[in-house]
Structure 1
Amino acid sequence: MIRVLVVDDDFMVAKVHSGYVARTPGFEVVGVAHNGAEAVRLVRELRPDLVLLDVYLPDMDGLTVLRELRGLRDDVDVIVITAATDVETVRSAMRGGVLHYLIKPFEYAALRDQLAHFAALRRRLDQLASAGQADVDQVFGARPRSTPVLPKGLTAQTAALVERVLRERPVTASECADATELARVSARRYLEHFVSTGKAEVRLKYGGTGRPERLYVWLG
């Protein structure tokens, strides 16, 4: 389980965000803080893996909290969640090494996607003995400067079609084939291509009888 500390001065907002985290498989809320000093203390005591950090706090702003967290011996990953939209705050958060910046208000899906992306990156890094450039690019969100070369037999137009379906919802190869009117084997080739490039991951879908199906989930 990935352990999360929620930091927000609004008790109801903190409760909502905690509920979002609890709804996301593989994540659990280990603490809630309503001011900056409490946030720093709980990070020291609970040692969470991830902090959801508001900027507007009653005793110190979230960016000050972020700087204090970066000074701790045990680093923690941070996603900023705030109503602050000024560019300087965004720039300061980026310089502080946050993973993402979510602007309030937002729906559950927005946070769920970021949590899933965070979990996927952790798994990827945990499985590596050393990181190649493609691994580093994925972690830091780099984009290739030229159009990526598709494997032989795959076309950009069909890849875009499969990507559009996959972005809408997790699908099996059969479900993707139905939605795109491709042969199942063709749909699966495109889905596996997205997995190999780190844009999607495979989870097991258990049904009634027989072996579980491969369920493809878009990561972006």
Structure 2
Amino acid sequence: MTEPLTLLIVEDETLLAEMHAEYIRRMPGFSQIWLAGDLAQARTMIERFKPGLILLDNYLPDGKGLTLLHELTQARYPGGVVFTTAASDMETVSEAVRCGAFDYLIKPVAYERLGQTLMRYQQRRRMLVGKESASQRQIDEMFNAYARGEPKTELPTGIDPLTLNAVQKLFTDPQVQHTAETVARALTISRTTARRYLEYCASHHLIVAQIIHGKVGRPQRIYHG
């Protein structure tokens, strides 16, 4: 199981940076989130905290985010960078891609799109951790998650992709078992909502549902990976 991801948001609009941080805090898999308002602060925080992922604006008071992206590339920085900018010119886009940016989000950033990017980065990170070699299938999955994203799946009404992803992550360890009540507590949602997501996962063979008959009371429905 991978460690929670640390994140640095480099954005000179303080309110916007705080809104990004508030949204990301609601997602599973993130621990510390730091904010930097310019390149100088960003460099200091990167050196001190070594965040696993950086959300990087391009237009900053003391220069361009592309400059920092170049520096990180040259230093072979192990973390990822998601570029967030109002710049949509192909020169900037091409340079960000050449420097290895994981994704490029044009402002104003849609939070659904940001959420998909963060989940894809977490997916790639899990694929890279703890493996000495990889099969072609695993490599294909990693590059799909990196470059093209996951195939879009139409979800039924009442099933949100972020909540669905959070539920699935509770079953990363195959030894873990959950009930609707334990999932509800873990994700701070209602038991009815938890049960809906669990049954969706079970019906799509993402997890296994099992009925346990106790000595007293009603049978209990247990879910495991």
Aligned to 1:212: 223
Distance 1:42 1:142, change over 3 A: closer
CA–CA distance in structure 1, aligned partners of residues 112 and 208 of structure 2: 18
Cα distance in 2 for partners of 1:133, 1:142 equals: 14
The aligned amino acid for 1:22 is R
CA distance in 1 between partners of 2:50 and 2:208 (Å): 28
Asked whether the equivalents of residues 30 and 46 of structure 1 are also in contact (C-alpha less than 8 Å), the reply is: no
Contact 1:40/1:68 (8 A) holds in 2: no
Q: Which residue of 2 aligns with 1:39?
A: 42
Q: Which amino acid aligns with 2:154?
A: R
Alpha-carbon contact 1:35-1:57 (below 8 Å) kept:
yes
Change (3 A) 1:58 1:26: same
The answer (yes or no) to whether the contact 2:11–2:37 under 8 Å persists in 1 is yes
Query: Amino acid of the residue matched to residue 130 of structure 1?
Result: S
* Letter paired with 1:4: L
Matched, 1:165 2:164: no
Q: Which amino acid aligns with 1:115?
A: L
> Where do 1:44-55 residues align within 5 Å?
44-55=47-58
Gaps of 5+ in 1: 144-159, 178-183, 193-201, 215-220
Is the 2:9–2:17 Cα contact (8 Å) retained in structure 1? yes
SS at 2:60's partner residue?
A: coil
State the Cα distance separating 1:107 from its structure 2 match. Answer: 2.9
Percent of residue pairs identical? 34
Please identify, of 125-134 and 48-57, the stretch whose mean Cα deviation from structure 2 is larger. Answer: 125-134
2:167 aligned partner: none
Q: Residue 44 of structure 1: CA displacement?
A: 0.7
Q: How do residues 52-201 of structure 1 correspond to structure 2 at under 5 angstroms?
A: 52-72=55-75, 74-141=77-144, 163-165=153-155, 169=161, 170=164, 174-175=199-200, 184=203, 187-188=204-205
Aligned to 1:151: none
Normalised by the size of structure 1, how large is the TM-score? Answer: 0.68
Shift of 1:176: 7.3
Distance in 1 (CA, whole Å) between partners of 2:76 and 2:110 is 34
Q: Deviations over 1:26-73 (max 9, x none)?
A: 113432111112112210111110000001111110100101122336
SS at match of 2:63: coil
Distance 1:142 1:47 in 2: 23
Residue deviations 1:99-131 (CA, integer Å, cap 9, x gap):
001111133221111111111111122143202
Give the TM-score of the pair, scaled to structure 2.
0.66
Segments of structure 2 that go 5 or more residues without pairing to the other structure are 165-195, 210-218
Equivalent residues of 2:39, 2:60 under 8 A apart: yes
The aligned residue for residue 153 of structure 1 is none
Question: Structure 1 residues 72 and 95 mapped into 2: Cα distance closer, same or farther (>3 Å)?
Answer: same
Q: Contact between 1:53 and 1:80, CA under 8 Å: does it hold in 2?
A: yes
SS in 2 for 1:212: strand
Q: Which segment is superposed worse, 54-63 or 98-107?
A: 98-107
For these two proteins, the number of residue pairs brought into alignment is: 174
Mapped partners of 2:111, 2:224: distance in 1: 26
1:120-153 deviation per Cα after TM superposition (whole angstroms, max 9, x unaligned): 111122143202222223222389xxxxxxxxxx
Greater mean deviation of Cα atoms: 82-91 or 122-131: 122-131
| Shift in alpha-carbon separation, 1:28–1:176, aligned structure 2, 3 A | closer
SS in structure 2 at match of 1:210: strand
